[in-house]
Chains A and B, each alone.
Chain A
């Protein structure tokens, strides 16, 4: 579908294409079922999928609904399924996709669809809250809570989570069993379980040692593949499993 509208004179020049995006639309007040709608947009090779959505919303169809805030991969509000993979629209460059074919964009799966690309995130945050994702420490130091570089390194990876839900909504276990805590909740529990300053690791391990806890993980690796922050999600889950077996972090 893409035709280079002009031949770039110099190598590395910004190219312009026409890209077809096919978006899964749903308006709960009008539609019984979601449907696919296509739009042609002019894009530059420096553009991201988020820019394509903006062009559609601003120039073609103002009813298109999606979430975004920072547009720079840090707020975690625009996770969506792009060509069947969970990605942040603001971190996915058009030129990295195969633009000879249309780009399919739909809401993340497994959470209730509200409108177009917006899902109800409450179930996701409910399980996040359940793992007590905050520091609980009884010590009252004079100045600060000292932590060595090694102690900090144990949970460094999981501090990077931006709660975009790309992992949880890519998990086949979560798709059929919405009771499963999901990778993101486990990642954020991991962040505090392995924090030497925190006292309540055991409580979180007990919470996750549940029928719907870490044992539900089938090491499908979809979550690691989906995470826009590059967190080794499956590894974090495995570390929590090990900690539960050991009985301590």
Chain B
């Protein structure tokens, strides 16, 4: 019930002077738009992976490889990845802004957040578009059926 954190008096004249592009407004709009898109994308994703066909038991390397060799699912996963990751990152950013009072700690946390997001986005995009569904010398039992034609 006590609050003993030493804070500056509110509205001390330091901040609130710099103007410029108002990213907060665009961030707010992004959260709403991506939120709506993600509802559709995520339920579509769950439906196709867990419900259609054999349901959960169908998920194996071949299933994923089959999806990732289809341009439709590549772009589907691409949008899922980017929209969801940036949505989550922006949410984390606002939480850090809300709860971390020390400027230096805040900067460190936000730097870590930003860099991990960039790494994940680059890695994820790389995987989506450069995924090799038929690794050379793989057991034909384990890879997608169409690999037989290539191998």
Contact = CB atoms under 8 A, between A and B. Distances in A.
Contact of B25 (A110, A127, A174, A244): A244
A173 B99 CA distance: 8
Contacts of A126: 11
A65 interface: no
B98 A218 contact: yes
B139 interface: no
Contacts of A120: 9
B8 interface: yes
A24 interface: yes
Nearest to B28: A215
Nearest to A174: B10
Nearest to A180: B10
Q: Contact residue range for chain A?
A: 35 or more
A79 B101 CA distance: 25
A179 B98 contact: no
A112 B9 contact: yes
Contacts of B2: 24, 34, 106
B57 interface: no
Interface stretch (A2-10, A133-141, A204-212): A204-212
Contacts of B104: none
A177 B98 contact: yes
A63 B101 CA distance: 33
Given A127-B11, A218-B94, A176 B25 contact: no
A230 interface: no
B15 to A, nearest CB: 5
Contact of A176 (B9, B27, B29, B101): B101
Contacts of A124: 10
Contact of B15 (A104, A176, A212): A212
Interface in A158-203: 172-179
Contact of B10 (A123, A241, A244): A123
A173 B98 contact: yes
Contacts of A81: 1
Interface in B7-34: 7-12, 15-16, 22-25, 27-29
A33 B25 contact: no
Question: Closest 8 interchain pairs by CB?
Answer: A178-B10, A215-B24, A123-B10, A123-B11, A215-B28, A179-B15, A112-B9, A179-B16
Given A112-B9, A209-B22, A218-B98, 9 more contacts: A24-B1, A112-B10, A123-B11, A127-B11, A175-B3, A176-B99, A211-B23, A215-B24, A215-B28
Interface of B: 1-4, 7-12, 15-16, 22-25, 27-29, 94, 97-101
24 contacts: A104-B1, A106-B2, A109-B3, A110-B10, A112-B9, A112-B10, A120-B9, A123-B9, A123-B10, A172-B98, A172-B99, A173-B98, A174-B10, A176-B100, A177-B97, A178-B7, A178-B8, A178-B12, A179-B10, A209-B22, A210-B24, A211-B22, A215-B24, A244-B25
